[in-house]
Amino acid sequence: MSSQPIGIFDSGIGGLTIAHAIKQKLPNENIIYFGDTKHLPYGEKSNEAIKHYSLKIAKFLKENNCKIIVIACNSASSVAYEFIKSNVSSIPIYNVIDPIIKNLSNKKYINKKIGVIGTKATIKSNIYQKKIEAKITSQIVSLETPLLAPMIEEGFFNQDISMTIIKKYLENKNLNKIDSLILACTHYPLIKKQIKKFYDNNVEVIDSSIITANYIKKQLEKKGMLNINKKPTYSFIVSNLTKSFSKSATFFFKEKIILNENDIWKEI
């Protein structure tokens, strides 16, 4: 048993979808969440920049006694996961991509057409195609959807304007006649209903929040690291605090939360 907190980070507040799923699946666990709102979106940054920011945050979470770190960001997971693992020792590091890949090992995905939408960094890394094709024989098609994350961060979802942008992307010929669609960004669960509506519920929409939470629970069980604390604590930190993020955070986490600012890059 371990009462140490689970550390979770994202380039912004999109990873709160993962944090909420983990809270639901593991209600006794303490959580420290860090959203790097000062540098979002990671999907538009260079690989070196993403690695630099991600490593700094991972070290911060380790210094705050986290027992594991969950990279709740597809861009950071695709670009910086191995880099973080090699530079932050003695603490398990998990990403949001491998749980999806493990889930796709199911026979029902063999010889199917699977679409992937995400940030430029995630799609350019080609990581989903590589990992899926290493597991099963399927046709993988990808599409960069760079406007979606900032649109959602600013609270523009479940509106006509968001549906117009979503429709424009999903009508792309690359995604024609897909059987499943992977939401390769932790922001996207907030527009999952609109995406399912576009497809008239005829396409399976896969988001990483619940899948990742189930995976993390299994890993903690295997390692004997579950917490039995009945009064867990939650800390939500962002590197740059604005009113819009405070408001949107409630939608991401599905509960009212208080964000605290800590610019870990600021010179002291």
Residue-wise pLDDT tens digits, 93-138: 999 999 999 999 878 899 999 999 999 999 999 999 999 999 888 9
Within a domain: 165: yes
Flag whether 138 is in a domain: yes
Does residue 73 carry a pLDDT above 70? yes
Q: What is the DSSP letter of 70?
A: E
Instruction: Answer yes or no: do 144 and 156 share one domain.
Output: yes
Last-in-domain residue among 209, 225, 242: 209
73 catalytic per annotation: yes
Q: Considering only CA atoms, which of 11, 7, 4, 14 is closest in space to residue 157?
A: 14
pLDDT confidence of 1, banded at 50, 70, 90? low
* Across 55-72, average pLDDT: 97
Q: Is the residue at 229 inside a domain?
A: yes
The reply to whether 158 falls in a domain is yes
Is residue 171 located within the same domain as residue 75?
A: no
pLDDT tops 60 at residue 20: yes
Residue 267 forms part of a structural domain: no
CB 79 within 8 A of CB 55: no
Tell whether the model's pLDDT for residue 51 goes beyond 90.
yes
* Side-chain-facing half-sphere of 237: CA atoms under 13 Å: 16
pLDDT digits (tens, 9 = 90+) for 36-46: 999 988 988 99
Q: Are residues 108 and 192 in the same domain?
A: yes
Task: Report the distance separating Cα 85 and Cα 72, nearest Å.
Answer: 15
Domain membership of residue 135 (yes or no) is: yes
Q: Of 18, 19, 22, 73, which residue is the catalytic one?
A: 73
Same domain, 227 and 255: yes
Q: pLDDT band at 267, cuts 50/70/90? A: low
| Residues 18-49 as b or e (16 or more Cβ within 10 Å = b) | bbbbbbebbeebbbbbbbbbbbbbbbbbeeee
* Tokens 């932050």, residue located: 88
Residues 197 and 105 in one domain: yes
Task: Tell which of 209, 234, 249 closes a domain.
Answer: 209
Long-range contacts of 81-87 (CB under 8 A, 24+ apart): 83/51, 83/54, 83/55, 84/51, 84/54, 84/55, 84/58, 87/55, 87/58
Q: Do 48 and 67 have their domain in common?
A: yes
Residues in the chain: 268
The per-residue pLDDT for range 199-209, each reduced to its tens digit, is 999 999 998 89
When pLDDT is averaged across residues 52-62 and rounded to a whole number, the result is 97
Largest CA distance in the chain: 55
The one-letter amino acid code at 144 reads: E
Are residues 78 and 147 both part of a single domain?
no
pLDDT at site 12: 85
66 is catalytic: no
Does 221 reside within a domain?
yes
Same domain, 85 and 117: no
Q: Which of 182, 185, 203, 238 is catalytic?
A: 185
Better-predicted residue by pLDDT, 14 or 153: 14
CA nearest 83: which of 46, 63, 58? 58
The total of other beta-carbon atoms located within 10 Å of residue 226's CB is 16
**Please, is 3 exposed, middle or buried when counting C-beta atoms within 10 Å of its C-beta (0-12, 13-18, 19+)?**
middle
Average pLDDT score over residue span 149-163 = 82
Q: In this predicted structure, what is the pLDDT of residue 13?
A: 85
Report pLDDT for 268. Answer: 42
Report the candidate in 248, 44, 47, 247 with the shortest Cα–Cα distance to residue 147. Answer: 44
> Of 191, 209, 227, at which residue does a domain stop?
209
Write down the pLDDT at residue 249: 83
The residues, any chain, with a CB within 8 Å of residue 186's CB and separated by 6 or more, are: 10, 14, 15, 17, 18, 72, 73, 74, 96, 208, 209
Contact between 121 and 43 (Cβ < 8 Å): yes
Query: What global pTM score does this model have?
Result: 0.93
Domain total of the chain: 2
Range of 147's domain? 98-209
Confidence of residue 251 (pLDDT cuts 50, 70, 90): confident
